[in-house]
């Protein structure tokens, strides 16, 4: 029997492809809330056993419990991706619990608010952002790769950002996400002949707890998106499930923009020139 959950973060079943990941085992980092939590639920809903890891083990445990209550297979574990031993322990836990590892989702990140002047940025803040956001996925991928090779259908899905492709602020965060896109390509070239696919998703603005108290900012941002809204965690979770599955068996080394058209269409500029052209 392969347990499954029903639905997504809002309780709906829209977009679900039940059973597509039957027999798969996945490890997710930073999965205690937001995109990571939605992705854990989505992978479980499609049949995967998931190890939900987070720096905050309480959050990870809550997500895993929700999945089990809906009939899915899930365990939780505290994991600091900045600690090599913790990363290796998480990979070992997943393999021991599920007997295999097919999918790694690198979602954990760290960022800090830019100093008003670039010259006032500190080495400590810069190093922290890069260590968690870029070197963390490096550590996790290194530890997981032998098991992903052994699975015969291994996949790594990195969660990047549109910040890695265009300026939206955040010096260290943007540099780390751009670096993660580069690592995705080089690792895809290395791991492809070994049967492992490596891809990256670049989300636009996603409505998560990180925006708590700034709902007015999200409302203003909606007008910049051609599709008229900011993203939801489930939008990213759906893309992860696709890239993890055999539906994406001939896709590797790509950056998949899941951004509501933000990078393809300069909505603000179009509105500005439209106003100019309509002026008397």
CB atoms within 10 A of CB 250: 7
Is residue 50 domain-resident?
yes
The span from the CA of 29 to the CA of 8, in Å, is: 18
The two three-digit tokens of residue 220, written as one number: 């203003």
Is residue 12 domain-resident?
no
Is residue 221 domain-resident?
no
What pLDDT score was predicted for residue 271?
A: 87
Q: How many residues does the chain have?
A: 280
Q: How far is CA 17 from its chain centroid? A: 19
The two three-digit tokens of residue 268, written as one number: 């603000």
What pLDDT score was predicted for residue 139?
A: 98
Tracing tokens 């990180």 back to the chain, one arrives at 210
Is residue 5 domain-resident?
no
Q: Which domain holds residue 132?
A: 25-212+231-262
The residue annotated as part of the active site, out of 24, 109, 173, 225, is 173
What pLDDT score was predicted for residue 278?
A: 58
Is residue 1 domain-resident?
no
> What total number of domains does the chain contain?
1
Is residue 219 domain-resident?
no
The span from the CA of 207 to the CA of 212, in Å, is: 9
The span from the CA of 38 to the CA of 209, in Å, is: 12
Q: How many CA atoms lie within 13 A of 159 on its CB side?
A: 32
* 109 classed as catalytic: no
How many helices (DSSP H) and strands (DSSP E) are in the chain? 9, 7
Residues 202/258, Cβ–Cβ less than 8 Å: yes
Task: List per-residue pLDDT tens for the chain, 280 residues long.
Answer: 333 333 333 434 344 477 999 999 999 999 999 999 999 999 999 999 999 999 999 999 999 999 999 999 999 999 999 999 999 999 999 999 999 999 999 999 999 999 999 999 999 999 999 999 999 999 999 999 999 999 999 999 999 999 999 999 999 999 999 999 999 999 999 999 999 999 999 999 999 998 988 999 999 999 999 999 999 999 999 999 999 999 999 999 999 999 999 999 999 889 888 866 555 5
Residues 35/235, Cβ–Cβ less than 8 Å: no
What pLDDT score was predicted for residue 274?
A: 83
Is residue 220 domain-resident?
no
What pLDDT score was predicted for residue 210?
A: 87
- Considering the entire predicted model, what is its pTM? 0.91
**Residues contacting 243, CB < 8 A, separation 6+:** 155, 157, 197, 199, 201, 251, 256
Is residue 178 domain-resident?
yes
Put the strands of the sheet holding 197-203 in their side by side order: 73-78, 49-54, 25-28, 103-106, 155-159, 197-203, 255-258
**Which domain CATH number covers 180?**
3.40.50.720
């Amino acid at each position: 029997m392969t347990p499954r959950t029903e639905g997504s973060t809002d309780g709906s079943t829209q977009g679900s492809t039940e059973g597509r990941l039957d027999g798969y085992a996945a490890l997710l980092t930073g999965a205690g809330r937001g995109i990571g939590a939605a992705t854990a639920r989505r992978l479980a809903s499609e049949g995967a056993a998931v190890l939900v890891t987070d720096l905050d083990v309480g959050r990870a445990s809550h997500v895993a419990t929700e999945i089990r209550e809906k009939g899915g297979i899930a365990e939780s574990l505290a994991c600091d991706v900045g600690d090599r031993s913790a990363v290796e322990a998480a990979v070992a836990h997943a393999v021991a619990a599920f007997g295999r590892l097919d999918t790694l989702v690198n979602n954990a990140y760290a960022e800090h608010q830019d100093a008003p002047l670039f010259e006032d940025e500190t080495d400590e803040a810069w190093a922290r952002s890069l260590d968690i956001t870029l070197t963390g996925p490096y550590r996790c991928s290194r530890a997981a790769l032998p098991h992903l090779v052994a699975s015969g259908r291994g996949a790594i899905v990195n969660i990047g950002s549109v910040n890695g492709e265009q300026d939206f602020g955040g010096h260290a965060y943007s540099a780390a996400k751009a670096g993660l896109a580069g690592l995705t390509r080089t690792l895809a070239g290395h791991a492809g002949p070994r049967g492992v696919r490596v891809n990256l998703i670049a989300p636009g603005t996603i409505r998560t707890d990180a925006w708590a108290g700034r709902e007015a900012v999200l409302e203003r941002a909606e007008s910049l998106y051609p599709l008229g809204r900011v993203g939801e965690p489930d939008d990213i979770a759906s893309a992860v499930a696709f890239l993890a599955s055999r539906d994406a068996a001939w896709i590797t080394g790509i950056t998949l923009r899941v951004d509501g058209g933000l990078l393809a269409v300069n909505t603000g500029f179009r509105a500005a020139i439209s106003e100019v052209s309509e002026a008397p």
